[in-house]
Amino acid sequence: MSETIGQRPWMTAPETARVLDALEAAGGADCARFVGGCVRNTLIGRPISDVDIATTLTPDAVVMALEAAGVRAVPTGVEHGTITAIADHKPFEVTTLRRDVETDGRRAVVAFTTDWMEDALRRDFTLNSLYARRDGTVFDPTGHGVADARAGRIVFVGDPEQRLREDHLRSLRFFRFLAWYGKGEPDAAAVAAIEAWKDDVARLAAERISAELLKLLAADDPRAALRLMADTGVLAVVIPGPWDFTRFEGLVEIESEQLFETDPVLRLAALLPNDQIAAHQLAERLRLSNAERDRIVAALAPTPVFKSWMSPREIRRAVYRLGAEAFRDRAKLAWASANRTAVAPQWRGMIALGEGWSPPAFPITGDEVLKSGVPKGPLVGEVLREVEDWWVDHDFLDDKMSAIEKLKSVAQGMVY
């Protein structure tokens, strides 16, 4: 009996039907099938995000078919056979069946084919080598994809070393899929091959490495996968040690127990030592965005020291000085390094107070400093900083006249 996932709403949606109808009008029934993650996740009861389609049509024929049906076609990866179809504002990656002709582990030269088995045999893992017709009938060319998906086995298609030689990124993808879908003991053949070929990961573009790493860290519980990544030596290629696994695993535990959203960027910061210079250098090497780099560096600042018993006044001061995001990050990292169970209410209360408080605007302006008799120049900034420090120390005193009196006193002392 054939395996089936039935006809799900995402399969029968009008925009999906528009794309499939367009392809089938050019290539006939069954020239296009759903492939990969959407089939896998539907099979095991996980939510899906992207809908990918494999087709026997060549890329040129795909473009012609889509445009004839009024569907926008974008050649996002045409050299590898991928056209992005945009129907009713929803993107679908449509990729021609292919086989590798030549590969150096970083990029591949492909030839197009009409053989579904050839296409399946060049994919990475058996659970990703699954196809489904629009009626829900599942095709499992390797013969193991359905069973491996349900059992949580991350197994390479064919010989693991050959798959890794074809694309070094597959080492990182193994750990990512292990974190998201793995159950039980990892596949021994896969682990042995990854350990043997670990140094080739360094040849990958930094953007590919960081994207895969952050996807791994976004899993609900990536702890075991990351530990294995360290044991095989792959983690050292990506992130030179030392690593703070205690804090990293503590943060994952907190997010799970306290129902915080998974935060891959903060998890990366948690794994790193408290060295802002090294963190900045790593972020640059991984080509993280400026926002991600700055966030990680700020999260690893040595001061102020966060404790669960910080007073409301100290919390407000920290939020004002650090900003809301950096305050929350610093609090979570300190919590992850501490006794997480005994003082959870205090930490959670601290974070809630910090998130719920909006810092007031400093009531003194540069013009008011000038009016107090301070001449233009660096002295204006010095006076502002001293008065602001006084204002913060007085817990953001809501009394502008008092701030003006303090300004006069400071200005008089500095000018005369």
Mean pLDDT per 10-residue run, the chain (416 residues)? 88 96 95 96 95 96 96 90 95 93 66 93 95 96 96 96 93 98 96 97 96 97 98 96 95 91 97 96 97 98 92 96 96 88 84 95 93 90 94 93 92 72
Report which residue type is found at 124. Answer: D
**What pLDDT was estimated at residue 413?**
76
Alpha-carbon distance values, 227 to 72, 188, 223, 224 (Å): 44, 15, 6, 5
For residues 170 and 156, give the distance between their C-alpha atoms in angstroms, rounded to a whole number. 9
* CATH T-level assignment (fold) for domain 1-151: Beta Polymerase; domain 2 (3.30.460)
**What pLDDT was estimated at residue 270?**
98
**What pLDDT was estimated at residue 170?**
96
> Which residue, chain included where needed, has tokens 């050959």?
162
Residue pLDDT, tens place only, 268-324: 999 999 999 999 999 999 999 999 999 999 999 999 999 999 999 999 999 999 999
For residues 85 and 203, give the distance between their C-alpha atoms in angstroms, rounded to a whole number. 32
Q: Tell me the helices (H) and strands (E) count for the chain, helix number first.
A: 22, 9
**What pLDDT was estimated at residue 102?**
64
> Which residue, chain included where needed, has tokens 């053949």?
189
* CATH T-level assignment (fold) for domain 158-235: Hydrophobic Seed Protein (1.10.110)
For residues 276 and 142, give the distance between their C-alpha atoms in angstroms, rounded to a whole number. 47
> Which residue, chain included where needed, has tokens 């701030």?
403
Largest alpha-carbon pair distance within the chain? 95
**What pLDDT was estimated at residue 5?**
94
**What pLDDT was estimated at residue 110?**
79
For residues 141 and 135, give the distance between their C-alpha atoms in angstroms, rounded to a whole number. 18
- 202, exposed or middle or buried, with CB in 10 Å at 0-12, 13-18, 19+? exposed
DSSP SS3 for 339: coil
**What pLDDT was estimated at residue 108?**
64
Tokens of 35: 């492939």
**What pLDDT was estimated at residue 105?**
54
pTM, whole model, 2 decimals?
0.90
Tokens of 178: 């292990």
The three-point CA angle 212-218-221 to 5° equals 120
For residues 363 and 396, give the distance between their C-alpha atoms in angstroms, rounded to a whole number. 9
Cα torsion 263, 265, 268, 274 to 10°: value is -110
Tokens of 223: 């702890």
- 331, exposed or middle or buried, with CB in 10 Å at 0-12, 13-18, 19+? buried
